[in-house]
């Protein structure tokens, strides 16, 4: 890819980038240089998405749900723009600090944290104002046992859940947070025990859009009321993120300005419904997917074409170990051919299948694609969130490479694993 020629620019900031908006030639150049399967991330699009979130929520504290994509350039890009890091595990805390997030902009929001995670987070010498979130009285006790005396946030279960799939709807799931009717008591106990209680946190779920927005609004309203009922002065009330992006080609883009307005209105309504007549704590949001989903594509090569009476099975070198969302959630990702002669080919019904011996290992069913041939390059859209993050070595398959592009210039983020990498820890255990 010469001097970024043909690569999308950030001069405009559309509400969503569709797979059809990615130019084919630069993607072919990336595949030629780095091989497939390959995740390609556009850091300029991450910056543009950050700007749109800031514009919609100008007065809110903005953090990034790190679990969506933890690659170092993405984290550095967001840290350099003053975004906070919302971390679900000790490893995400470590990555965020290493990428340059100031400790006071890091929030550890774990669910049932393992002992070794708490040991690491509570024992950080450079904690520097990092916020630790607890979702159970037992977790509060475990934190106290480790001598943590820093800033604390309490996660609430508001009894309202939403999201694109039942597996990611968290707001009403007992696993997540202190039950709403006990939340004020737990918050006051935390303050009474000497913790610096700075915030409350809740999250409805992931991929929220359309009808789910009413549930999000209700969650925000309840959190506003709860904040007014807590006697101690709070710095913030975090209402999660989970803002959806359109995965299907004809899905409308999320009206982020309308979501922001509804969020502010619901928060103010909840606060007025409480006992406190002072100004409410700062509203905080923690999107993940919205920052990065449409900033990434997955490139994959056709290795087998098999016509059958039902469909044409297009076998590719990426599968559920590369991108698990279709297998795990039944998620839809747009798929597009990138060959120069693609526009001249006849469209045929296809199933795009991976190399894993599982019926679920299908990236897309019933797709109309240009008549496929072995060696063709395909692109899978909206792969920037929960793509590489959820890849695995199932079937002892090496994980793919990742490349980041900024101002049209690519750089390798994660090299492609080898077969030796897959068995490295076993070999090291045998040698120890």
52 annotated as ligand-binding: no
CA-nearest of 22, 51, 70 to 295 is 22
241 annotated as ligand-binding: no
287 annotated as ligand-binding: yes
Report the Cα 206 to chain-centroid distance in Å: 9
Residue 278 neighbours by CB distance under 10 Å:
8
Rounded CA-CA distance 351/354 in Å is 10
Rounded CA-CA distance 23/19 in Å is 9
242 annotated as ligand-binding: yes
Contact between 4 and 408 under an 8 Å Cβ cutoff? The reply is yes
344 annotated as ligand-binding: no
User: Which residues form the catalytic set?
Assistant: 357
288 annotated as ligand-binding: yes
CA torsion 244-250-256-262 (nearest 10°) is -80
Report the Cα 325 to chain-centroid distance in Å: 12
Q: Which residues pair with 208 in a beta bridge?
A: 243
345 annotated as ligand-binding: no
Rounded CA-CA distance 184/389 in Å is 35
Binding-site residues for pyridoxal 5'-phosphate:
242, 286-289, 386
Binding-site residues for substrate:
289, 325, 329, 358, 386
């Amino acid at each position: 890819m010469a001097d970024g020629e043909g690569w999308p620019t950030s001069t405009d900031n559309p509400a969503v980038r569709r797979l059809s908006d990615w130019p084919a030639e630069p993607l072919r150049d990336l595949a030629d240089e780095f091989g497939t399967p390959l995740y390609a991330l556009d850091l300029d699009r991450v910056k543009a998405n950050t700007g749109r979130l800031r514009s919609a929520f100008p007065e809110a504290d903005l953090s990034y749900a790190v679990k969506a994509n933890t690659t170092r350039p993405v984290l550095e890009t967001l840290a350099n723009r003053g975004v906070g890091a919302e971390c679900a595990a000790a490893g995400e805390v470590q990555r965020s600090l290493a990428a340059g997030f100031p400790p006071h902009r890091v929030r550890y929001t774990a669910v049932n944290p393992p002992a070794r995670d708490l040991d690491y987070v509570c024992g950080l010498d450079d904690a520097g104002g990092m916020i630790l979130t607890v979702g159970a009285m037992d977790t509060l006790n475990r934190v106290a046992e480790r001598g943590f005396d820093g800033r604390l946030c309490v996660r609430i279960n508001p009894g309202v859940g939403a999201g694109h799939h039942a597996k990611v709807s968290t707001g009403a799931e007992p696993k997540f947070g202190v039950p709403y009717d006990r939340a004020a008591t737990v918050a006051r106990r935390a303050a009474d025990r000497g913790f610096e209680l700075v915030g409350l946190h809740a999250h409805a779920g992931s991929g929220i859009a359309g009808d789910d927005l009413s549930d999000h609004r209700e969650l925000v309203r309840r959190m506003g009321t709860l904040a007014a009922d807590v006697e101690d002065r709070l710095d913030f009330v975090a209402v999660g993120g989970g803002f959806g992006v359109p995965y299907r080609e004809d899905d409308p883009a999320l009206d982020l300005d309308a979501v922001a307005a509804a969020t502010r209105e619901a928060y103010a309504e909840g606060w007025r419904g409480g006992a406190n007549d002072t100004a409410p704590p700062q509203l905080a949001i923690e999107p993940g997917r919205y920052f990065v989903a449409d900033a990434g594509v997955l490139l994959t090569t056709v290795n087998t074409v098999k016509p059958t009476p039902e469909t044409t099975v297009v076998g590719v070198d990426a599968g559920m170990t590369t991108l698990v969302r279709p297998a795990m959630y039944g998620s839809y990702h747009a798929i597009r051919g990138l060959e120069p002669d693609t526009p001249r080919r006849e469209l045929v019904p296809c199933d795009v299948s991976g190399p894993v011996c599982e019926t679920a290992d299908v990236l897309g069913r019933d797709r109309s694609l240009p008549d496929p041939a072995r060696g063709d390059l395909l692109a899978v859209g909206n792969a920037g969130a929960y793509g590489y993050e959820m890849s695995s070595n199932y079937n002892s398959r090496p994980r793919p490479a990742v490349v980041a592009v900024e101002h049209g210039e690519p750089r390798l983020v994660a090299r492609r694993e080898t077969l030796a990498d897959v068995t490295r820890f076993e070999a090291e255990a045998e040698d120890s």
